[in-house]
Homo-oligomer: A and B are copies of this chain.
Amino acid sequence: MTEVSAIAQLAAAMGDQPAPIYQRVKQAIVSQITEGVWPPHQRVPSESELVNELGVSRMTINRALRELTSEGYLMRMQGVGTFVAEQKAWTAMLEVHNIADEIAGRGNTHSARIVTLHEINADPEQAAMLGVATGQKIYHSLMVHFENALPVQLEDRLVNPAMAPDYLKQNYDLQTPYTYLMQVAPLTAGEHVVEAVMPGVQQRKLLAMEEHEPCLLIRRQTWSDSKIVTYARLLYPGSRYKLIGSFKGHG
């Protein structure tokens, strides 16, 4: 009777702290998993077994198991049972903030210099990035962001006019393009790619960089309601910018 001993172990792991029952059940199960007593794919006692053996109502057991499932500890299949989930892949958070907020957060002063702010006709590649037809009018902006007097980001952005018709008329000394676009279009999803590249000569000069110095490049596409709002290429001097993130197990 593996199940019975599993329950006995679980009951022993349930302390009697002054906490809600469903939380104590969750904590007891988590400790079985993290201490390796219940390995991945191990079957977890069924709801009715737990109800009988722990003397708790089924709704309470169900809540504990349901929350653990949504937290990635368990896997459930209707008609089959509940099982310990595979160790989660380590997917880590990297926070990609608005550049102005980031600089302000360090107590420094942000400013921006606009290099280009124009309407252009989309070439085939640009059209593809925005999901519009080749030759259609789109907006293009190129600006340098400064932390105090030092350039830290070169922002090269394409914008879909259908989603932000007044993009060219904004005052970008008061507000970054990112912030403006957040306001006019409820951004619902995005994708980004991070890579290391060498800047072109023009880019290197705009960022006031030495020769043979690499850049971090973040390319980001942002959707609003299944339409692409904007495609940005954010170029950072490798010597002045790092992406920092943290992660936790089963986060």
Which segment, of A107-115, A131-139, A142-150, A185-193, faces chain B? A185-193
Contact indicator B93/A89 (Cβ below 8 Å): no
Instruction: Give A193 to B245 CA distance when docked, in angstroms.
Output: 6
Point out the residue from B96, B189, B215 that lies within 8 Å of A214, measured CB to CB: B215
Question: Which residues from B are CB-within-8-Å of A74?
Answer: none
- Other-chain residue from B186, B197, B244, B249 in contact with A191 (beta carbon distance below 8 A): B244
Bound-state CA distance A194–B198 (Å) is: 16
A:217-239 near B, CB below 8 Å: 217, 236, 238
Contact present for B245 and A94 (CB under 8 Å): yes
Residue A117, interface by CB 8 Å: no
Which residues of B have CB within 8 Å of A243? 193-195
| In the complex, chain B residues whose CB is within 8 Å of the CB of A242 | 193-195
Residues of chain A whose beta carbon lies under 8 Å from any beta carbon of chain B: 34, 36, 59, 87, 89-98, 101, 182, 186-198, 212-217, 236, 238, 241-249
